[in-house]
Structure 1
């Protein structure tokens, strides 16, 4: 007990002298010398201990609580799900924007629907949409995506409708070559391809030509895209070309569609259109069609003058 009291008194005295003496005092000098001597030892000790401290941190991280790891995993899954959800919403918005654009461009009277099923056999090419007679749909109404025609309604129930796709071999759509107005019938084939039938070899048709609905028959509005000519062939003594058409769009690439519920007078082929199609089914030459467009009168007085001249004759 007495040694402890002695050491305590000595410590108090040294501390008192240390505080009262200046920086150059003897106790400060001794402390500085001890620090200088022991610094290398402490440095070596720190260097030796550093790897063990690092290993300790690694084990600490590896042994983090399971609750923490589960929470991080949950957050990662939620973020991944959110990104997928936002991406899907953006794509849906783009598709709907395309439908609205088509509806506006062609001034279509239509109702939107979603594709909810497809035919399950190899003999027919059909899809099912989620609108039916309760929504005002009837048989024969045309169906289009944002890119072009995909088919026509052939069956209707209260809540759903069956759409025969234009690639079905039972499908036929009155069509024409957009540039030359050459008339034909776009028909599906057993192998799922499309052919533009009954186009006279006198017609001006080439690969890359756009095929559109002609409006003849009063089912499809005229001018809707159907596809693009991918090949044109003619054998000796043939009356008609063999024309293969690549569809403008397919049901597999679409989820939302427009069902065209009625046509305006401007969207149906006029009597003049029908007479022209019957009298010159081969259409006009490409050069003539271009010349006609270039020479179209811009001034109303010129048109009137031409009409009067024709009347006088």
Structure 2
């Protein structure tokens, strides 16, 4: 029994002694760290540990970059939507500006004829073209309140004949196109001075009729209004002869006339109110 107690006491003393030694070493190390002699040793230890520390930092940095990239990818759809909206807005604005520039160019071109002719005119915008109407018509955004009257002449730039006003309301008017089969105009061929009447050929073009048999008609000759009967002003260009068949024994001859106006692309016109 006494031996057991002695062994236990000896073991406790050894443990206590070891703790004291360790505590002393710790104190010595702290003092040496503060004083400085351990700096070289610490440098060696840090250099040995640096690869592992760098790898840890690199992994942490790349991990942070990955999360940042993933976060950026998540916001891309929203940014793309904003960009698409901006692109669409710019496209609409560009189209609007281009349309305004084109309209201004057309107006400047047509105003040249108005100034030269010194006629009283009303500029008008084509706002409709009824597809199933009995007549070939266009609808203008000008009417009685603008000084437009039934029977007024409608032209394009440089005196190109479009037709005449068929009916008028307060704010709009309908124009019977030159190509309508109900339309007719007294004309003269500029080359031979042959007189005739240009009629609409059921919307397919123009037909020059009632030309004296002996009159000479050449392909390419211009056909203009005569101003007879006060129906249309004199000198408006109607078209050019594109076919003049031999009349044979007929008393009068005919010719096909190519219109100078593209009636499917009408946008701006002028109504001559003093015709």
Secondary structure (helix, strand or coil) at the match of 1:114 reads strand
The answer for the alignment partner of 1:197 in structure 2 is 209
The answer for the alignment partner of 1:160 in structure 2 is 172
The answer for the alignment partner of 1:267 in structure 2 is none
Q: How far is the alpha carbon of 1:252 from its aligned partner?
A: 2.4
Q: In structure 2, do the counterparts of structure 1 residues 239 and 70 end up closer, same or farther at CA, with 3 Å as the change threshold?
A: same
The answer for the alignment partner of 1:179 in structure 2 is 191
Preserved CA contact (<8 Å) 1:201 1:234: no
Q: In structure 2, do the counterparts of structure 1 residues 54 and 110 end up closer, same or farther at CA, with 3 Å as the change threshold?
A: same
Structure 1 residues not aligned, in runs of 5+: 19-29, 264-313
Secondary structure (helix, strand or coil) at the match of 2:138 reads strand
The answer for the alignment partner of 1:231 in structure 2 is 243
Give the counterpart of 1:98 among 109, 115, 120.
109
Q: How far is the alpha carbon of 1:219 from its aligned partner?
A: 2.5
Preserved CA contact (<8 Å) 1:167 1:189: yes
Number of equivalenced pairs: 244
Give the counterpart of 1:112 among 116, 123, 126.
123
* Separation in structure 2 between the aligned mates of residue 255 and residue 158 of structure 1, nearest angstrom: 20
* Separation in structure 2 between the aligned mates of residue 156 and residue 63 of structure 1, nearest angstrom: 62
TM-score, length of structure 2 as denominator length = 0.73
* Separation in structure 2 between the aligned mates of residue 112 and residue 5 of structure 1, nearest angstrom: 106
Q: How far is the alpha carbon of 1:206 from its aligned partner?
A: 1.2
Give the counterpart of 1:146 among 128, 134, 157.
157
Q: How far is the alpha carbon of 1:92 from its aligned partner?
A: 0.7
Secondary structure (helix, strand or coil) at the match of 1:254 reads coil
Q: In structure 2, do the counterparts of structure 1 residues 248 and 61 end up closer, same or farther at CA, with 3 Å as the change threshold?
A: farther
Q: In structure 2, do the counterparts of structure 1 residues 260 and 191 end up closer, same or farther at CA, with 3 Å as the change threshold?
A: closer
Indicate the RMSD between aligned Cα atoms, in angstroms: 3.7
The answer for the alignment partner of 1:285 in structure 2 is none
* Separation in structure 2 between the aligned mates of residue 58 and residue 123 of structure 1, nearest angstrom: 68
TM-score, length of structure 1 as denominator length = 0.65
Q: How far is the alpha carbon of 1:106 from its aligned partner?
A: 2.2
Give the counterpart of 1:240 among 241, 252, 255.
252
Aligned: 1:73 with 2:84: yes
The answer for the alignment partner of 1:82 in structure 2 is 93
Q: How far is the alpha carbon of 1:10 from its aligned partner?
A: 5.8
Q: In structure 2, do the counterparts of structure 1 residues 10 and 127 end up closer, same or farther at CA, with 3 Å as the change threshold?
A: same
Preserved CA contact (<8 Å) 1:133 1:156: yes
Q: Deviations over 1:183-209 (max 9, x none)?
A: 111100124321111122322321111
Q: Residues 160-309 of structure 1: matches in 2 within 5 Å?
A: 160-263=172-275
